[in-house]
Each structure stands twice: as C-alpha cells, then as structure tokens.
A and B are shown apart, each in its own frame.
With several copies, the nearest count.
Chain A
Amino acid sequence: MKAFLRDLRILWRGDASGDRVVPPSGYTVRLTIFSAAAMGFLAVMALALALSAGRLADDWGGALARSATLRIDGPLDTMQERTEAALRVLEQTPGVASAQALTEEEQRALLEPWFGPDLQLESLPIPQLIEIEKTPEGFDAEGLRLRLEGEVPGAMLDDHESWRKPFLAAARALRWLGWGAMVLIGATMAAIVTLAASVSLAANAQVISVLRLIGARDDYIARAFIRRFTFRTLTGAAVGTGLGLIASALLPDAPMSFLTGIGFANLDWLVPFAIPPLAALVAFAATRRAAFRTLRGLS
C-alpha cells in the first residue's frame, strides 16, 4: 500500500528536475485551468440536457410506442359481444403482448375532467376502451385495422402515432442539441488546450533553446510540458465538473410524465465523473502533438 502510494506520487510529481526547468508560466496556467473548468461545467450542463432528453425520447419512443388503444362504439346491447370479439382478434394478432378492456372505474377516471365524478356509465352509450401493449417487435397496425373492420364493427384502433411523433421529434432534437454541444465542447477544449500549450511552448522558445544548448533531449523537454498541461487540464476540468454537478443538483425539478425533469437521474450521476479524465486524456494527446511539432519546428 505504501509502495503504491509512493509510485502514485512519483507519477504525479513526475521528474522533479524536468518540471523545474520549465518556468511556471503564469498566464498560460490560468488560461488552461480556467478554460478546462469552463468546458467541464458546460459539459455537465450539456450532458444533463442530453441525458434528460434521452430519457424523454425513451419514454415517448418506448412506453408510448409500445401501447395502443382500441375504441369500440355501438349500441349498449352489442357492446359486450363486440368487446369480446375484439379481444379474441387481438389475442391472435402477433405482436400484441396483452390486451385489456378498461373497467368501469378506469373509464370513469378518464372521463372525470369532463363529466364530473357522478357519471353513471352503465346508462350511457359510451364506447368501451381496450388498452393494448405491444411486444418489442410491435404489430402491423394496418393489417390489424383491416381485420377489425371486417370482424368487429365500430372498432377504432389508435396506436398513438399521430400525437406521439411530434413529442418524440422534440425530445430527439433536444438530445441532439445536448450531444452536439458535448462534442463541440470537447473539441473546443482540445483546441484551447492545444493552443495554450503551443503558446506556452512558443513563449518558452528561449527555454527550449537553452535546454538544447546544454544537450537536453527533446523528449526530456517535451515531457515537462506534457505533464504540466495534462495535470492542469485535469484540475480545471475536475473543478468545472464539480461546480456543474452542484449547479445541476440545484436546478428546479419538474417531475412529470412527459418531462422527467432536467438533470441526472439515478446512475446518470456517475456519467459526468468521466469528464475530467477524458479532458486530461484530450489534453495529454493535444499537448504531446503540440510539443513535438513545436520542437521539430524550432529545430
């Protein structure tokens, strides 16, 4: 355990002498840390948006898409018979997981907003509703419609397509927006870190020429820069992600069936923790490229 910690510390501190030869260049430090933090924060926000929109799309694309409603109209006395006929048809239809006629209570609850709680359903010629759940594969709505037309008069199939679609499109647009912003933020961070590293290398052209003069190898020089920028980015991104998580926990919650609230739900909370290491990785790669390119350029 002690040896492990020591090794970790050496990795963190790296080669102390190598770190000392690169000056503690004030502005590029702040530039890197700040932009990593800002990008981390924005990434958390975008991630929250993308994941919430994803959940939304799942709900509308999933739960709603896997259900349908069958309405049976007709005179009161034929209702029982028609309902049974419809249920039989549905039983035989591939892709229907279950079909259930709504009970009187359920129908009354649905109608309550319009009729009030005292409605006597038995005396009314209101249609019977059947809730259908699809299997994951779904059924052939057109075929079912044709068959019902022939066998069950007054049956109307509503597979929620028409009013589900725009919701779904909106959720998917939001999700796109979220992930698009994520990608853009990642690219921005990579670019800013690359540029900050390049600026730092360019500003340290004298340091590099001094080190070469005394016979330092290029990777000795490059390592000092790479290590520094990687850790700066990690630090900045961690701070930004932390602030982002706090902010997204503070976001007003709107727990609704169709808008599950913006923010992270359940295990989603773990996803943002990938941001700092990813940012550090991006910084590592970006600085490495910048360092070796600059070193070759200064030859």
Chain B
Amino acid sequence: MLVIALDNVAYSYGGGELLAGVTLELAPGSFHFLTGPSGAGKTTLLKMCFGELVPTSGRVELFGQRLPGMTRDALAGARRRIGLVPQDARFLDHLTVAENISLPLTVAGQDMRAQKANLDELLAWVGLTHRAKATPPELSGGERQRAALARAVILSPDVILADEPTGNVDWEMSQRLLRLLVELNRMGKSVLVASHDLALIRAAKTQTQVRVLRISNRRLQFAGADL
C-alpha cells in the first residue's frame, strides 16, 4: 500500500497555477529527492503531502484516506505517522531541546522513560548531546535544523518529509544526517527530501537507491542520470 499518493494534483496560491498535473506515489521503503529552483514549489508540494495545504484540483491520499474527507482528528493521527522537517523549523521556546525533540512522544501519550535510550541515541547522532538542556533560541542555525530532524523521526514515523534539512550545516554534518535518513529508509520508512544541494544528492546515490524528482515549469519530472 502507498503511504502518500498525489494524483494529478494542481496548486495555486490565488495567482497563477504554481503546480499542475503532479502525480507522486510514495511507497514504503522508497527514497526520493525533490529539487528545483528557489520558488518552484518544493515546500508547497511537501505541505500537500503533510495535509497542510489542500490541492486546488486532483486528489491526495494519506495512508489510504482521502484528504478532504478526513476529520481533524484523523488528520492529526495521520500526521503522527509522518515526520516533517520544515524548512524554517519552529520549537516551543520555553522547553529544552531534549523536551522539544521528545514532544511528539508527550503528545502521543507515550511513556517518556521507556524512550529515554532512544532519545539519547538520537541526540548523539545529530550531535546535540551537549546542547540537550539548552532552549531552542540558544541554538545555532545548523543546530536547529538537526533538532528539527531529530524531532521528526523520534516517533519512528512511516514517512519522513524533510525540507532542506542540510541548508545550514557543514559538509561533514550533512553526510551524518544523510546516513541517518538512509538508515531509517533501510528500516522500511519512506523518505522524501527537498534539497538544492547537488553534492548531497550525489552522495546519497552512492549509498542507496534514490530517485530524484525535479519541479520545472510547474510539472514534476524525474531528473536524468546527469545529476
């Protein structure tokens, strides 16, 4: 079964059409990159996959449920199975970084102590162990991105949607984050990463089977092997 499916979707913010005839199927265990120039609509596409934006036409299905027919609670439930790393991640500034990262556990009503080992491992992976007790406003740009990635994956979601997760980190760190995503992908999770970092995409190709999508001229296309 598909985890997320977009079928002949179009989107417009009110002016002209931004995206048209977009069809995208995320199967379990797939790994996609999404590229395209700034302003092409990458973030918009990801928001539709998250149920945050409803397409102007076409259909979106999350875990087999049609989006416009879902109740608010069903949507909240579906979102708990999707880990989103937003381009401009926001946190609860009055909680620590560790609390923010484990917030999805809190909201899902899971026992925090049982997940302690999980949290510690994740913090170590994204290199935030020494910042665990800081608050989000005290993080550097790259640290925020890493915290957002950690928060997105802590509930072990079925899909990971990441919007420029390496925009603010150096090359070594971006390789580290990539390895985390590849690891999760190998566990059967579906991954979709929007990025303009061609070097990162090339590196990913050496590690796992990756498909590269590109938005150009309002359409979604598979990028050739030249990437």
Contact = CB atoms under 8 A, between A and B. Distances in A.
Interface stretch (B13-21, B76-84, B197-205): B76-84
15 contacts: A17-B106, A20-B95, A20-B106, A23-B92, A209-B90, A210-B90, A210-B91, A213-B79, A213-B90, A214-B79, A214-B107, A215-B107, A215-B108, A217-B76, A218-B76
B80 A214 contact: yes
A48 B84 CA distance: 58
Interface in A133-180: none
A211 B77 CA distance: 12
Contacts of B91: 210
B73 A217 contact: yes
Given A21-B103, A215-B107, A207 B72 contact: no
The 3 A-B residue pairs whose C-beta atoms are closest, nearest first, are A215-B80, A215-B79, A23-B94
Given A23-B92, A214-B151, 17 more contacts: A20-B95, A20-B106, A21-B92, A21-B107, A23-B93, A24-B94, A207-B92, A209-B90, A210-B91, A210-B92, A213-B84, A214-B107, A214-B155, A215-B82, A215-B104, A217-B72, A218-B72
Contacts of A24: 94
Interface residues of B, number: 24
Contacts of B188: none
A218 B109 CA distance: 15
A83 B90 CA distance: 95
Interface in B43-90: 72-73, 76-80, 82, 84, 86, 90
B147 to A, nearest CB: 12
A248 B158 CA distance: 65
A216 interface: yes
B93 A214 contact: no
A212 interface: yes
B150 to A, nearest CB: 12
A213 B95 contact: no
Nearest to B112: A17
Contacts of B93: 23, 206
Interface in B99-138: 103-104, 106-109
Contacts of B92: 21, 23, 207, 210
Nearest to B106: A17
Interface of B: 72-73, 76-80, 82, 84, 86, 90-95, 103-104, 106-109, 151, 155
Contacts of A211: 107
Interface of A: 17, 20-21, 23-24, 206-207, 209-218, 220
A220 B107 contact: yes
Give the most central of B73, B80, B82, B106: most A CB within 10 Å.
B106
Nearest to A295: B72
Given A20-B95, A24-B94, A206-B90, A212 B76 contact: yes
A17 B91 CA distance: 16
B120 to A, nearest CB: 20
B154 to A, nearest CB: 9
A215 to B, nearest CB: 4
A242 to B, nearest CB: 31
Given A21-B92, A206-B90, A215 B77 contact: yes
A92 to B, nearest CB: 78
Nearest to B94: A23
A246 to B, nearest CB: 36
A216 B107 contact: yes
A214 B93 CA distance: 15
Given A20-B95, A23-B92, A207-B92, A215 B103 contact: no
Contacts of A215: 76-80, 82, 104, 107-108
Contacts of A216: 76, 107
A179 to B, nearest CB: 42
A131 to B, nearest CB: 74
A218 B73 CA distance: 8
Nearest to A213: B84
B130 to A, nearest CB: 23
Give the most central of A23, A213, A216: most B CB within 10 Å.
A213
A17 B112 CA distance: 11
A212 B73 CA distance: 11
A158 B84 CA distance: 88
A198 to B, nearest CB: 18
Nearest to A218: B72
A70 B216 CA distance: 105
